[in-house]
A = this chain, B = another copy of it.
């Protein structure tokens, strides 16, 4: 009897909100690694907002995900069998195997990670792509100086939580925006932000701007934007001259629609700099970022929270929850 494993493929493209019907669970045989190949048993799958873009036909950061193909995604797992001299059975490896329990690779794009001081799953979060995203946007675009104020939306999430903690380490006032009192409390009391605004209590730009002005009495110098919409427009009303905006995500519009920026004049009048970025364009910065983030997690200076769905079959619902902000911290799927 051949051993089998599960994978999830893109069944159809979403019309507006993503639904469970956009995915299909399949069962396929576990392959045997060929010459030079490595077989990995994936332990955790990372769910990230960028996947929403790949499900669209429209041009996004990168190629669309093809129908019938395994959903893209970052994974961390353990080598089960290897014909590649660079990897041995038992090695913990980070890869992009997608939404599936096993992965086969010639070693390209596979990275061994050290799980002695940093838990395996952190390599998908604070010491992985989300952490580097936070590091890059903050250090390379927001470029905060000690004493300045940094605002980040989706502050309890995998990226936002790191942004705020790094901003604090840099001597800044860190303000967050998150959905719900529980997340806001966590952001302030556990992550050490100076303040956090519940966007559910400030559904319009005026109200959001008022809350931001209170939380950031000296104005905002660096904005790390994950959300867009009311968060972004509210923040634009509070930016200081020569402020920097790292545009990392527009999750407010992840069900497909475009959400306008209304407070455009602030970009001109305050001479703001706004830059959209994708962390994979900046591979040269990854080693430094990962070193700093790994040290931060190992020493407890960077804290994070995970929401872990159990088993691959739970991935679609967990992903939909992520797009709707139901997760709390980094959203993972436990595969083994």
Residues of A at the B interface (CB closer than 8 Å) are: 53, 59-61, 228, 247-250, 253, 258-265, 267-278, 281
Contacts and interface: CB of A to CB of B under 8 A. Distances in A.
Contacts of A278: 271
B260 A262 contact: yes
Which one of A53, A265, A277, A278 has the highest number of Cβ atoms from chain B below 10 Å of its Cβ? Answer: A265
Report the copy number of this chain in the oligomer: 2
B268 A250 contact: yes
B259 A264 contact: yes
A276 B272 contact: yes
Contacts of A265: 250, 253, 258
Given A268-B276, A273-B275, 16 more contacts: A53-B269, A228-B264, A247-B267, A250-B264, A250-B265, A250-B268, A258-B262, A258-B263, A259-B264, A260-B264, A261-B261, A261-B264, A271-B278, A272-B275, A273-B273, A274-B275
B269 A274 contact: no
Nearest to A60: B269
Nearest to A260: B260
Contact of A274 (B267, B277, B281): B267
A287 to B, nearest CB: 21
A253 B281 CA distance: 35
Contact of A261 (B260, B273, B276, B277): B260
Contact of A269 (B59, B268, B270): B59
A229 to B, nearest CB: 9
Contacts of A53: 269
A253 B263 CA distance: 12
Nearest to A259: B264
Nearest to A62: B269
Contacts of A262: 258, 260
A53 B60 CA distance: 37
A63 to B, nearest CB: 12
Most buried by B among A59, A247, A253: A247
